[in-house]
Every structure is written in structure tokens, then in C-alpha cells.
Structure 1
């Protein structure tokens, strides 16, 4: 996939050349899962996999959108003045939602022709939807000369997903796609969007971060994600806190004793300990103790499996097998209920760990996993 290919496909579809081509990446989250909508800390990095958007503005109030990966192969033609939130409306809701969010805030977006081309795996917990939203948001920002900074564009992309598509996600995915930089992980405080780029050059240390896409597809709009967000918000309210971010590790045991049920206690325990793990991982990276990050990844997975209850047999098998085969640590990444795991591994252990995971999936009768290295790439940008 190249920008020229995406531009050529646009020209073939619409009969004129695009104004430009923009790209936004998928992401893996090194650590900090479900902490974003609890106003906590996260540590994502951008993948080299991107959604590309070839775009040309229109002046007639029409939005035409086509995706090279959509099975229907149709170009959706919508009136921007009639866009309304449409949960469950399919993939076109993501770009349409960005247009709606910008217009709803008073920005002069009159329509566009858009062709999308993606190599971000869908349903793998790698934020293909956020990449799509951010590619379109960055393109519209440029072609309509809106002058919005990356953090604002990430917020509009999040609003598109929350209010238009109906997925109550936090801002992690959109901020990662918009603001990550090459060779770094993004240490983000999701309360005020304060951020710091943390150097993350594993290759120089003889290490690799592998992504294991279990190919178990999930849909965050199916209720599991929303239930956990609602549970976290209810628990914070019952504890008299603005958000679970405000509960310290020192006060955790007292808070847990005040909660009425095991489900709430599990949600709270995961969020508080996960925020602590994010900050401990950042401290280890800053001090050059990168190999010591591994056990914290595995600890995070156990917390998501046992306390937050968002893992699945395939993810557990990937993590357990990788660790048994010599990985430094592993965890599921993303919203859960399927998707991908990440594995921190010595360079010379990549092949045996990969072979062990493939063998375990075959023995269990699962679909073969897709495995590839995660190398931190740049965030959203214009390609041509």
C-alpha cells in the first residue's frame, strides 16, 4: 500500500485527483488498559500499519466515501447537513462521524470525496477505527484550513466514535494515532492530555515486541466494553471520587472493603493497579531497565483476566505459551474480548517463542495467529 496507489484509486473512482493523501496509524498499548476513560495513564505506541485517506473537498454539501477494504465495494453518498448519530451503521459511520463532529462544533466542513485504504488489521484490538477517524480528521483539517492541533483532532475523532458510532471509548486510541512519534511510546495523562514521548528502541537492546493477533474478532459496541465503563463510573461515584484515577494504591484496600460486590472490587483493583503499572514501566524505561518491564506486562494480563474479566482462551493461551517458551513477559492489548496480545522477547528467542505459540494454537484447534513485530512509528501525517 502506497500513497500513490491510494491516490490512483481515488482518481479512478471519482474522475479527478485528490487534494492529497493522509495517513494515521493503528496502535498497540504497551500498558494501561481501560484506564483512559477512568482519567488515568496509558503508554501506547504507533504501529507502521496505517489507514490512508485520499481526500478532495466538495462545495455542494455531499460526502462520498469509499473503502478499498469494504466487502460491499460501494461508495456511500451522504448529505452532510443531514448527518445524525447512527449507532450500528457500519464502517461508514466512522468517517461520517468525524464530519458530523467537526460541523457540530461549528467548523466549516462542507463535504468531501474520500477514498480509504488500510492495512491495519480490523477486529484485532489495534485501533483500526481510530486510525480511520484520525486520517479523515487530519485530512479535513488541512483541506478546510481549520488550524486545529493534533490533540483537538483526536478529541473530535473520539467524539465521532462516542456520539455518532455509539462506542463509549476513552481517548487513548485517538491520541495514540494522532500524537505518537517514531521510536517512542507515548506516556499520556488522559485527564489533561499531558504527554511525554518516551524513547522505545528495543532493537538497540537486542529485544523485540511481538504482536500476536489471535484472529478472534470482537466488537466493542456489543456491550462488554460499555458495561465495564459503567461499572467503573458507578464504583467511583460510590466511593465519592471524580474518577478511579483519584484512588491511590495506598488507599485501595480500604476502598475495596467499602464496595458491595466482587465485580466492582475487581474493576477498581484493576484500574488502580494498572495506573501504578504504567508509571512503573515508564520509570523502568527511563532508567534503561527495559527487560524488567516484562513481569509487569504479565501482571497486567492477569489483572485483566481475573479482575476486569476481558480476556479469552486464545489470549490466555498466547500469553501463557509465550512466557513458558522464554518470553520476558506478555499481555493482551486493546479493549479485550479477543484481539491481540503483545510479547516482549529477546531477539534470539523470537523464532522459538513464535513456533511455540503457533504450535499451541494448532494443538488447541484455534485458527493460526498472525504474528509480527511492533516497531514504533509516526503518528498521523500528510503523505502527499
Structure 2
């Protein structure tokens, strides 16, 4: 693949050496959904799918962007002072946004660049493709400009800032952090309130991590996501009248039971209950994994789905069917919806000898019940962003 990408780069940008080849992975989140903007814990891991980026320095201040995933869009060429967001630039807004964010924060970008991107993350999986684009671009800038004091965590923070301020998405830190800081055969328990983290071994010799694409497109997900955030904030403000907390995830389930009556609106109470209990489940799940109790881990994944369905109300019929069908198979240790919700994917832990049955039965029953054809992907853990 490396040589093929170099050949394609030279075909597009002309002969000459490529300055560098970089890679940033995607990520899957094992448990800890909709907790990041509530100051809670998440438990993602980097995967081997991701975004490759080839770069060549230019002697002027012009940037050229091209993606093999969008061949019809050709090459976008812009001077460094014209990298503002524009709808018609589509995918290129993500690397542009990262470059703009770095420059805005004082990172020197002393030359132009030719950039070629290729991602092998299937569309619609929701496993961090935009953050992967941003982090790999930030890594290129850091390494080519030889900026020694810019850490991988810094790049993750800048990528989140690019999403929030340049792209206009109110996304959290989980995606860029896992992509920047991933470690093969490990997942990351990240406390989003202070960015403290620890690696937990994720070697599953007898199981597979399978992501199932429902093929149900997410509709109006940004609006619904922001609505859930607002409801959590409302619940937090109600609780702050009786208890000194900064985030919902500071509460244990027992303390929440004692103070929940202060939340005025029932819908906000349900949202807060998910934030509190999901955070506790995530901590318990990592403890179970560290003890080697993968079955308990799976049960907590199942409980996570029910909470996302009933309290946070971000599931949908298609995701529920995939999960219900998975639960019927003996070798499935745990299964839940993954990501923002309202469509997208599920994530399951499946015993090796049950994988074929899982794909066959879940796929056929899902087709019968919805008319849609599910896609199945076996995920492998990988390292974080780096030069190839």
C-alpha cells in the first residue's frame, strides 16, 4: 500500500520525493457513551483502520489538498491566508480546520504543503474518521515544523478545538484523544473531567470485537445531540442547588438516588441518571477487564445499551434489533449501540467459535425484520497516530 500511495501522490503532484507518510487510526468505544460532556469516563481503543496522509513541503505558502476517497473533487489549492471554512470544500474543512487552529494558537507554519489523504474507514461507521483526519494533519505540522514541545495530548486538544470552533460541532475529547494516544492491545480509561488516563490490557485471544453497521443513516443527529447536552446541563444546574458538583459524573449512583428529586423535569432526570450510571458502569467494566472477567464486562455493555435506549433515548429500532438478536446467541458476551445514536453501529464481544453464527443469524434476522443489509467488521486494536 505504501508504494501505491507514493505512486498516486506523484501522479497527482508530480515527481519528487515525498517528505513523509503518516497514519492516524480510527477508534471504537467499548463502553462509556454520552459521558464525555458530563465529565465522566470513557473506554475507547484505537484500531488498525484509519487515515493515511502523504506530504511534500512546498517553497511557497500554498496548500494543496486531495483525497483518494473523494476523487471527483480533485485538488483544492489555497494560500495559507485563505483556509477559512467553506461548505463547498467538504471533507477538506477538517485538515484546513486543524491547520487554522494550530496557527491561531501560535504554532508556526513556515511553509506550504502538498497533502494527499486516504482513509480505509468504511463510511457510516462513526468511528472517528473526522478526528483521524485532524490528528494526522496536526502530526504532520508538528513533525515537519519540528515543534518539540507539542505533545500528542496537545494535538488531541487542538483537534477537539478545531471540531468545536472551526467545524462547529460540539464534540468531546474522546475521539481525538484515543486516536492520538492509542496503544496496541490496550484500551484507554480516560477521565474526561481532567484528562487523567490509564491503559488497560485488551488482549482477547478467545473473542473478537465486532462492529455491526445498521445501514440506518443518522438523521438530525447534531440537533438531538445538542438537546441531550442541554438536558444534562439543566439537570446539573438543578442538582447544584443542593450539592457542590461541577459535573454529573461526580455523583455515585447512591448519592444520585438521594438528590435526584431536585431535578425538576422528568426527561432531565432520565438523562442525568444515564450519565451517572454509565460512568459507574465504565469504571466497573475496566475493573472487570483487569480481573480477566470478560463476561462481567459484557454484562455491563448490555446494561449500557438499555440505559442508552430507555434513559438517554438515543437508540432506534434498527440498533435495538441488532442488539436483541445478538443477545440471543450464546457466544455473544455483550452487545450495545455505539456512538451518538439514532442509527449507526453496534459493538459486540463475540467468542471466536460463535463469530460465524453471529454474522449469519444476526444478519439474516435483521434483514427479515428491517429489510436492511447489515455490515460486519472485526476490529483489531492498534497504536495511535505516528509517522509510517
TM-score (norm 1): 0.94
Q: Which residue of 1 aligns with 2:210?
A: 210
Q: Which residue of 1 aligns with 2:171?
A: 169
What does 1:211-290 correspond to in 2, within 5 Å? Answer: 211-218=211-218, 222-240=222-240, 241-290=245-294
Listed one character per residue, the Cα deviations across residues 195-242 of structure 1 (whole Å, up to 9, x for unaligned) are: 211111111xx1222111122233776312222222222322232232
Shift of 1:153: 0.4
CA distance in 2 between partners of 1:275 and 1:217 (Å): 27
Instruction: Decide whether the 8 Å contact of 1:87 with 1:165 is kept in 2.
Output: no
CA distance in 1 between partners of 2:73 and 2:82 (Å): 23
Instruction: Decide whether the 8 Å contact of 1:124 with 1:216 is kept in 2.
Output: no
Q: Which residue of 1 aligns with 2:144?
A: 143
CA distance in 2 between partners of 1:79 and 1:260 (Å): 53
Listed one character per residue, the Cα deviations across residues 101-120 of structure 1 (whole Å, up to 9, x for unaligned) are: 10000111243211110111
CA distance in 2 between partners of 1:185 and 1:158 (Å): 20
Instruction: Decide whether the 8 Å contact of 1:28 with 1:47 is kept in 2.
Output: yes
CA distance in 1 between partners of 2:364 and 2:276 (Å): 36
CA distance in 1 between partners of 2:99 and 2:315 (Å): 34
Unaligned runs of 5+ in 1: none
Unaligned runs of 5+ in 2: none
Q: Does 1:5 align with 2:1?
A: no
CA distance in 2 between partners of 1:82 and 1:361 (Å): 47
Q: Secondary structure at the match of 1:92?
A: helix
CA distance in 2 between partners of 1:221 and 1:354 (Å): 27
Q: Which residue of 1 aligns with 2:328?
A: 324
Instruction: Decide whether the 8 Å contact of 2:367 with 2:374 is kept in 1.
Output: no
Q: Which residue of 2 aligns with 1:337?
A: 342
Q: Which residue of 2 aligns with 1:156?
A: 158
Q: Secondary structure at the match of 2:91?
A: coil
CA distance in 2 between partners of 1:220 and 1:108 (Å): 37
Instruction: Decide whether the 8 Å contact of 1:26 with 1:128 is kept in 2.
Output: yes
Instruction: Decide whether the 8 Å contact of 1:125 with 1:338 is kept in 2.
Output: no
Q: Secondary structure at the match of 1:251?
A: helix
Instruction: Decide whether the 8 Å contact of 1:80 with 1:99 is kept in 2.
Output: no
Shift in alpha-carbon separation, 1:273–1:88, aligned structure 2, 3 A: farther
Instruction: Decide whether the 8 Å contact of 1:28 with 1:45 is kept in 2.
Output: yes
Q: Which residue, 362, 370, 379 being the options, matches 2:375?
A: 370
Shift of 1:138: 1.1
Shift of 1:88: 8.5
Shift in alpha-carbon separation, 1:159–1:88, aligned structure 2, 3 A: farther
Q: Secondary structure at the match of 2:381?
A: coil
Shift of 1:82: 3.0
Shift in alpha-carbon separation, 1:221–1:310, aligned structure 2, 3 A: closer
Q: Which residue of 2 aligns with 1:381?
A: 386
Q: Which residue of 1 aligns with 2:131?
A: 130
Q: Secondary structure at the match of 1:63?
A: strand
CA distance in 1 between partners of 2:62 and 2:237 (Å): 44
Shift in alpha-carbon separation, 1:146–1:219, aligned structure 2, 3 A: farther
Instruction: Decide whether the 8 Å contact of 1:124 with 1:218 is kept in 2.
Output: no
Q: Which residue of 1 aligns with 2:314?
A: 310
Alignment root-mean-square deviation, CA:
1.8
Task: State how many pairs are aligned.
Answer: 380
Q: Which residue of 2 aligns with 1:84?
A: 84
Instruction: Decide whether the 8 Å contact of 1:49 with 1:119 is kept in 2.
Output: yes
CA distance in 2 between partners of 1:108 and 1:314 (Å): 47
